[in-house]
Amino acid sequence: MAKKKIMLRDICYYRSGDKGDISNIGLMAKNEKAYEIIKREVTPERIKAHFKDWVKGDVIIYPMDNLQSLEIMLYEGLGGGATKTLRIDQTGKAMGNALSRMEIEVDESEL
Protein backbone atom coordinates (compact mmCIF):
# COMPACT_ATOMS: atom_id res chain seq x y z
CA MET A 1 0.00 0.00 0.00
CA ALA A 2 1.36 3.45 -0.93
CA LYS A 3 2.22 5.61 2.07
CA LYS A 4 1.74 9.33 2.05
CA LYS A 5 3.02 12.11 4.33
CA ILE A 6 0.37 14.64 5.35
CA MET A 7 0.11 17.44 7.87
CA LEU A 8 -2.59 17.27 10.54
CA ARG A 9 -4.07 20.45 9.07
CA ASP A 10 -4.94 18.49 5.91
CA ILE A 11 -7.50 16.41 7.83
CA CYS A 12 -8.28 18.45 10.97
CA TYR A 13 -9.53 21.75 12.28
CA TYR A 14 -8.19 23.17 15.54
CA ARG A 15 -8.73 25.78 18.25
CA SER A 16 -6.45 26.39 21.20
CA GLY A 17 -6.31 28.35 24.44
CA ASP A 18 -4.86 28.30 27.93
CA LYS A 19 -5.35 27.73 31.64
CA GLY A 20 -2.31 28.86 33.55
CA ASP A 21 0.76 27.25 32.00
CA ILE A 22 -1.31 24.54 30.31
CA SER A 23 -1.84 24.88 26.58
CA ASN A 24 -5.13 23.33 25.55
CA ILE A 25 -5.76 22.28 21.96
CA GLY A 26 -8.99 20.95 20.50
CA LEU A 27 -8.15 18.94 17.40
CA MET A 28 -11.28 18.30 15.32
CA ALA A 29 -11.24 15.66 12.59
CA LYS A 30 -12.88 16.78 9.36
CA ASN A 31 -14.61 13.38 8.94
CA GLU A 32 -14.89 9.88 10.44
CA LYS A 33 -11.89 8.44 8.61
CA ALA A 34 -9.78 11.36 9.76
CA TYR A 35 -10.92 10.75 13.35
CA GLU A 36 -9.72 7.14 13.17
CA ILE A 37 -6.37 8.35 11.84
CA ILE A 38 -5.79 10.98 14.52
CA LYS A 39 -6.86 8.65 17.34
CA ARG A 40 -4.15 6.25 16.16
CA GLU A 41 -1.38 8.65 15.05
CA VAL A 42 -1.57 11.60 17.44
CA THR A 43 0.15 10.34 20.59
CA PRO A 44 1.61 12.23 23.58
CA GLU A 45 5.12 11.14 22.57
CA ARG A 46 4.80 12.49 19.03
CA ILE A 47 3.31 15.75 20.25
CA LYS A 48 6.16 16.22 22.75
CA ALA A 49 8.72 15.57 19.99
CA HIS A 50 6.93 18.05 17.69
CA PHE A 51 6.96 20.93 20.20
CA LYS A 52 10.51 20.24 21.49
CA ASP A 53 11.39 22.60 24.38
CA TRP A 54 8.16 24.58 24.09
CA VAL A 55 6.33 21.84 26.00
CA LYS A 56 8.19 20.85 29.15
CA GLY A 57 5.58 18.76 30.96
CA ASP A 58 3.21 15.88 30.22
CA VAL A 59 0.85 15.66 27.28
CA ILE A 60 -2.60 14.25 27.97
CA ILE A 61 -5.15 13.40 25.29
CA TYR A 62 -8.89 12.93 25.87
CA PRO A 63 -10.93 11.56 22.97
CA MET A 64 -14.38 13.09 22.33
CA ASP A 65 -16.17 10.57 20.11
CA ASN A 66 -19.30 12.73 20.00
CA LEU A 67 -17.41 15.52 18.23
CA GLN A 68 -14.80 13.35 16.48
CA SER A 69 -12.23 15.42 18.29
CA LEU A 70 -9.27 15.13 20.60
CA GLU A 71 -8.89 17.37 23.61
CA ILE A 72 -5.13 17.79 24.08
CA MET A 73 -3.43 19.27 27.11
CA LEU A 74 0.21 20.33 27.07
CA TYR A 75 1.48 20.85 30.62
CA GLU A 76 4.13 23.54 31.07
CA GLY A 77 3.39 24.40 27.48
CA LEU A 78 3.13 28.19 27.50
CA GLY A 79 6.45 29.40 28.83
CA GLY A 80 4.98 30.03 32.30
CA GLY A 81 1.40 30.94 31.41
CA ALA A 82 -0.33 34.03 30.02
CA THR A 83 0.82 36.49 32.65
CA LYS A 84 4.40 35.23 32.95
CA THR A 85 5.38 34.08 29.48
CA LEU A 86 7.76 35.98 27.22
CA ARG A 87 6.08 34.63 24.10
CA ILE A 88 4.04 36.95 21.85
CA ASP A 89 1.20 34.43 21.88
CA GLN A 90 0.56 34.79 25.59
CA THR A 91 -2.61 32.70 25.68
CA GLY A 92 -1.58 29.98 23.26
CA LYS A 93 -4.14 30.84 20.59
CA ALA A 94 -1.73 29.78 17.84
CA MET A 95 -0.63 26.52 19.50
CA GLY A 96 -3.36 24.71 17.52
CA ASN A 97 -1.86 26.03 14.29
CA ALA A 98 1.55 24.90 15.52
CA LEU A 99 0.23 21.39 16.22
CA SER A 100 -1.48 21.31 12.82
CA ARG A 101 1.97 21.48 11.21
CA MET A 102 2.78 18.01 12.60
CA GLU A 103 3.40 15.43 9.90
CA ILE A 104 1.98 11.91 9.96
CA GLU A 105 2.20 9.03 7.53
CA VAL A 106 -0.97 7.37 6.30
CA ASP A 107 -2.00 4.81 3.68
CA GLU A 108 -3.33 6.60 0.64
CA SER A 109 -6.39 4.36 0.75
CA GLU A 110 -7.31 5.83 4.14
CA LEU A 111 -7.82 9.32 2.79
Partner 1 sequence: MKKVRVGAGSSGWPDYKDGALDVAKNGDIDYISFDHLAELTMAILQNQYAKDQTRGYIPEVIPLMRGLLPIWKEKDKHFKMCNNGGGANPPVCADEVLKLSQELNLGGIKIGVITGDTIPLSRVDELRKEGWKFKNADTGEEDIDRVRDKLLAAYAYTGADEIIEAYEQDANLVIGGRLSDNSLYCGNFMYPLGWKFTDEYWDRIGSAVCVGHLLECSSWSAGTCSNLWEEIDYPQGNPGFPIAEMDENGDCIVTKTKTSGGAIRVQTLKEHLVYEVHDPENYIMPDGIADLTQIKLEQVGKDEVKVTRLGDKPRGKPRPENLKFCLAYNDGYIAEEITIICGPKVFQQAEKAHEFVKRRIEYLGLKPREMLWSLIGWDSLCGPTVGPPPPDYDPPELGIRIAFKCDTQQEAQACRTECGHLCWASLGVGAGFTQPPRIRPVFALWPTLIPREAVPLELEIKEVK
Q: Which residues bind partner 1 (CB under 8 A)?
A: 13-22, 24, 26-28, 50-54, 62, 64-67, 69, 71, 73, 75, 79-84, 86-89, 93-94, 97-99, 101-102
Which candidate, 13, 29, 10, 20, places its Cα nearest to that of 74? 20
Q: Select from 89, 88, 85, 99 the least CA-distant residue to 20.
A: 85
CB nearer to partner 1: pick between 26 and 44: 26
Measured from the CB atom, is 54 or 110 closer to partner 1?
54
Cα within 13 Å of Cα(28), Cβ side = 8
In the bound complex, what is the minimum distance in angstroms from residue 40's beta carbon to partner 1?
19
